[in-house]
Amino acid sequence: IDIGWLDDSHLDEMLAVFKGGFPTTLQFSAFSRSKCAGIDARLDPDSTLLTWMEKEEQLFRALERHIVSQRLTAGFVTSRGEADVDAFVSYSLSVQNRRKSRVGLTLENHLEQIFTQNSIHYSRTGRTENRSKPDFLFPSQSSYQDAGFDPSRLLMLGVKSTCKDRWRQVLAEADRIPEKHLLTLEAPISKHQTDEMRVKSLTLVIPTPLQSSFKPEQRVELISVREFIALARARQTQG
């Protein structure tokens, strides 16, 4: 996501609502969506997802800049008045780790809202075999664990903001579902990797605005968020 600019127009409100600190990802995702007027996840779920992600990143970076700037201004000094290098390194690492961990959760949060607004049944991080936790199971964890439930009606979706070689983790997360789906914002992905994904029965879910960065022969293998929702709805109503 290329945020382009920081949105500090809501900084005072964020500082008041979140009491000058960092909220949970769920809280911040909900706050970010509330600042996106005229968005309809049912009419255009692909653009909606990217808009929500971009807005949240803009708002978060503005809040982060304010909080981190205050901490840097306060300085890192020991009780003896010496520069506290360890404290500075620890704080720096916490900033980096927060950035890394929140992006994946943010993507899941907004997808969850899109599925909800489209009346799609799902379980988030439901358990499957060997304590695996697919990001999303459709229509539910209980359906997956029901041996009598038709496996052709099941779907799973892994979610990774960037997949690199981590996409292979998805392959072992739901044994009852031979065809896996993975949503990512990484684009483009090499043809070598998408060819391997196809061989492994993994279908990429790429928001429509990002698909143009793939080669034409790759695009025929991709599906959009809208198409995945249609597939989930069809299986949800099947039988």
For the chain, how big is the Rg over CA atoms in Å?
20
Note the pLDDT of residue 223: 98
| Domain limits, the chain | 11-103, 123-237
pLDDT in tens, 42-98: 999 999 999 999 999 999 999 999 999 999 999 999 999 999 999 999 999 999 999
Q: Where are the alpha helices (DSSP H) in the chain?
A: 11-17, 25-34, 45-74, 85-117, 141-145, 191-199, 216-219, 225-237
Predicted pLDDT of residue 147: 94
The percentage of residues in the chain with a pLDDT greater than 90, rounded to a whole number, is 89
In this prediction, residue 100 carries a pLDDT of: 87
Residue 178 has pLDDT above 70, yes or no: yes
DSSP alpha helix (H) spans, 75-135 = 85-117
What tens digit of pLDDT does each residue of 125-165 get? 999 998 899 999 999 999 999 999 999 999 999 999 998 88
CATH class of 123-237: alpha beta
The mean per-residue pLDDT over the stretch 196-205 comes to 97
Query: What confidence tens digit (pLDDT) does each residue in 100-124 have?
Result: 889 889 999 999 999 999 999 999 9
Nearest to 36 by CA among 21, 18, 57: 57
Digit-coded pLDDT (tens) for 36-51? 999 999 999 999 999 9
Confidence at residue 8, expressed as pLDDT on a 0 to 100 scale? 86
pLDDT value for 239: 62
Q: Pick from 15, 26, 2: which is nearest to 65 by CA?
A: 15
**Residues 76, 207: Cα–Cα separation, whole Å:** 43
Domain 11-103, CATH number (from 3.40.91.80, 3.40.50.1820, 3.30.470.20, 3.30.1490.20):
3.40.91.80
* Residues noted as catalytic: 144
Query: Average pLDDT in the 195-206 region?
Result: 97
Q: What share of the chain is helix, strand, coil (3-state, %, to 5)?
A: 55, 10, 35
Q: What does the alpha-carbon distance between residue 238 and residue 26 come to, in Å, rounded to a whole number?
A: 32
How many angstroms separate the CA atoms of 181 and 155, rounded?
Answer: 8
pLDDT number for residue 238:
82
What pLDDT is stored for residue 1 in this prediction? 54
Question: Which of 139, 102, 161 lies closest to 235 in space, CA to CA?
Answer: 139
